[in-house]
Amino acid sequence: MIADLRHVDTWLFDLDNTLYPAESGFMAAIVDRMTDFVERVTGLPRDEAFRLQKTYLAEHGLTLKGMMLNHGVDPAEFHAIFHDMSLEALAHDADLLAALQRLPGRRLIFTNADDVHAQRVLKHLGLDALFDDVFHIGSAGYEPKPSPAAFAKMGELHGIDPGVTAFFEDSERNLAPAADLGMTTVLVGPHAPTCAAPFVHHRTEKLAPFLSGAHLREVA
């Protein structure tokens, strides 16, 4: 079904596993480094460190938040472990580039990653010039999605009108607060077609064809 997005003039995108496919394996490599970090800081065996990492993710929306609260971790030290990661798994997508270019209005990134990681990935994908700004975890005062406080800070900073905003995410639970605010929500990824959550308005396995086929506002 073709999505009617003619009311949208602010386009809000998550970054990881949304602007590149989950099957790239890049996010899995990030999780491996995260587990290494938790193992090193806590001294736990790797399997226990992985479980703790996932517990913090479930409880706080971000492993880093749990590490900050319970282990006194410096967020700069945590984010530095990702800044030298190889980006070879991420490929340019000409169809996605063209689809993003046709969107009328503002394009923004809303990510739980830090600014360095976001800019590295966007530049490597050839998408950095298409976005007006990146609202990263530092911008949110380390309050991650799906916290309503993160949405409030992002909305205040960028003057977001939820009624004309579409939010694209690979994480279902991060779309719930967006829908509560009145945004149009789009779940992206291989799991999207089976999602039955009422706060998810559109579902697509692939971002580029969804955007390319959507009905958009005509620009005068």
Rounded average pLDDT per 10-residue block, the chain, 220 residues? 95 98 95 96 97 95 94 96 96 97 97 97 97 97 95 97 98 97 98 97 97 89
186, 202 Cβ separation under 8 angstroms:
yes
Q: What pLDDT digit, counting tens, does each position of 157-177 carry?
A: 999 999 999 999 999 999 999
Mean of the per-residue pLDDT values of the chain: 96
Top CATH class, 4-21+91-216? alpha beta
What pLDDT is stored for residue 218 in this prediction? 87
3-state secondary structure of 167: strand
Give Cα 96 distance to the centre of its chain: 16
What pLDDT is stored for residue 6 in this prediction? 97
Residue from 107, 174, 189, 182 nearest 144 by CA: 174
Topology, domain 26-80: DNA polymerase; domain 1 (1.10.150)
Any idea where the domains of the chain sit in the sequence?
4-21+91-216, 26-80
User: Roughly how many angstroms between the first and final C-alpha of the chain, as a whole number?
Assistant: 26
In whole angstroms, give the CA distance from residue 136 to residue 116.
Answer: 9
What pLDDT is stored for residue 219 in this prediction? 73
Query: CB-hemisphere CA count at 13 Å for 170?
Result: 18
